[in-house]
Structure 1
């Protein structure tokens, strides 16, 4: 989602809030980490996109003016739908995560996940909600390295998990969704071909799911059932296999190998390689060349 279409984000940039880092995760999902420690008011007026907020630290003295009896705290969640309006009194220290997502992405999920029209699935406006599962997933998201393509892909996957959870629990139409079994053989072959063809470029769970005409929720679970790993872990494994082949096959520069295998830089490749195999790419190359 382009930053120009994120009024909540843009509103915060005009306040005393300090942006720690942000990223586009793909598929209409964007994320940002913020902190504030100044007294001020903040107003959001029909921003045009949905926002999920998790308080990571502090927030005890922040109140929404139309709900003055509620107080923030770590692990409290707020849902700010696209057409909502809210006026906040901010005081005291706070550190928080924002996940921004496009209404059309959420609307499409209603059809693919629940086979319902989007007009029947309106996202609730929630202030200081408790949801331990959702808070834990958002903390995972906050802990990822979004500068690393694999961190972004893992974040993309977590973002889709969040959207499915919100669709199932925060739209007024509670409904369980059961996924049984894995991908059909033809689906497995197709998704493997697509991954192999695009190991050097950006991939998202949404793109892979769309290729098989599945919701991201169904795709992720069926993929895990078929391959024993979530999509982002499988893709990382395949990229490391390609990197090992390139290292064993010649003296290509590490930066070139990183680019051809979908890593952001030589250092990102080296870090992932060492974490997975226990040796650096240079050590592996020397061992493979013996």
Structure 2
């Protein structure tokens, strides 16, 4: 059994370089699991949980010590929300971490072929994989922002205005009085589409209506619907409907 480890806000990430058939993991004096760990499997334990492990057989693994301050610095440097914990199934195989870890081994063995930049890039890749796949994030006060019916109406009216196609997200968010970082997600939650997808769908629907109810030439329909020209209308219409506006009109 390993000796007690001082309690601290640090995570130990273990990447198994060979299979472990027998072991026992204890946390806070209580039995946790005795699952076998296959080669290339990953485990993450918090030193705050007072882990101890019984390993009767030889083992070989690559370990990363991730302090709370290091995770905070990584999040800040990469404009992410802070990782507050990890959730991983014990013994889960992770080929991305395995490939990155094996690329790092020669440098850890003292090889002089690896530059500091290379090592930094590999460590960055491992941290990104760990925090993205297994990390739990601190909540933001903007996580649950929703558009009210009035806010949605304001945004849609701006999008269908004469220069709506050039409207920036920051302008839409400002008029709706919500953070720009939350606007796209809130709009998609309300409509099922991104703002760009919504205005494209709106223009195609309007073009179909004009094709059915008027005898306008395609160039005039393109102008009314906010397309740059007839060619732009034809390309967008064909991509959405599966046929050109002229063919669609004849078939109706």
Provide the TM-score with structure 2 as the length reference. Answer: 0.45
The alignment's TM-score, normalised by the length of structure 1, stands at 0.40
Structure label with greater radius of gyration: 2
